Structure 1
Amino acid sequence: MGQFTIFLALIVVVAFLLIVVIMVQNPKGGGLSSSFGGGGTQQLGGVKKTTDFLDKSTWTLSTILVVLILLSSLAIPRAGIAQEDSTALDPDALETPAPAAVTPNTNDTAKPADSTK
């Protein structure tokens, strides 16, 4: 398995986790954090802690996703680079062919342009 395939699998897993974390949140303050609330002042986890956890996990997963994407660009196999390297190592590939010999035109008579059109 190549490096790019590993990066691709990690990117897919992190993107899926990021989608799950974002879908759990409610833009109006509800979501998973509202299910732990209820109105009582004595809460085991607390709404604030759940919201902080979801917020931190969103930022962490998004940062990991960006880093993985940037690192995967280094692992992409490039055919053009390998081809350039092979010509640099092959001294016969660097030789340029001689230009074709130019034969002079022995027919010096030029035809007049057709002016009837």
Structure 2
Amino acid sequence: MSTFTIFLALIVVVAFLLIVVIMVQNPKGGGLSSSFGGGGTQQLGGVKKTTDFLDKSTWTLATLLLVLILLSNVAINRGSDSIDSKALDADATTTQPLPAALPETQDAAPATSTDESTENK
């Protein structure tokens, strides 16, 4: 398993977790932060602490996702060539085959401009 594959798997997991954390939040003050613990004054951690946890986890996962994406660029296997594109290589010449010449047919008569309909009248 290559390093890039490991980074790719981590990126997918972190992106999924980030989606879950964002979907749990509600910008109007609802969501998990308002319904966590069942209600009343006996909430586990309280609404404020749940909102702080979701906010911190969102920023942490977003930062981790950005770092993993940048590190995965370093881990890409580029092979032995230092130039990725042949368009950037000045020494590379590409030759395209010329289209084959159409065979001339001698069965076809040359076009004439005689108008037979006017001569027959």
Which bin holds the TM-score, normalised by the shorter protein?
0.5 to 0.7
Q: Tell me, which stretches of 5 or more residues in structure 2 are unaligned?
A: 83-121
Q: Which residue of 1 aligns with 2:71?
A: 71
Q: CA deviation at 1:39?
A: 6.7
Letter of the aligned partner of 2:53 in structure 1? F
SS at match of 2:12: helix
- Out of 74, 80, 83, the residue aligned to residue 81 of structure 2 is 83
| Structure (1 or 2) with the larger CA radius of gyration | 2
Q: CA deviation at 1:42?
A: 4.7
Q: Which residue of 1 aligns with 2:32?
A: 32
In the superposition, the TM-score normalised over structure 2's length comes to: 0.62
Taking the TM superposition and a 5 Å limit, the aligned residue runs for 1:8-47 are: 8-36=8-36, 40-47=40-47
* Counterpart Cα distance in 1 of 2:7 and 2:43: 41
Q: CA deviation at 1:38?
A: 7.1
Q: Per the alignment, do residues 42 and 4 of structure 1 end up closer, same or farther by CA in structure 2, a change over 3 Å counting? A: same
Greater per-residue helix proportion: 1
Percent identical residues: 85
Q: Tell me, which stretches of 5 or more residues in structure 1 are unaligned?
A: 85-117
SS at match of 1:83: coil
Q: Which residue of 2 aligns with 1:113?
A: none
Letter of the aligned partner of 2:27 in structure 1? P
* Counterpart Cα distance in 1 of 2:3 and 2:17: 21
SS at match of 2:17: helix
Letter of the aligned partner of 1:59 in structure 2? W
SS at match of 1:77: coil
CA RMSD of aligned residues (A): 2.0
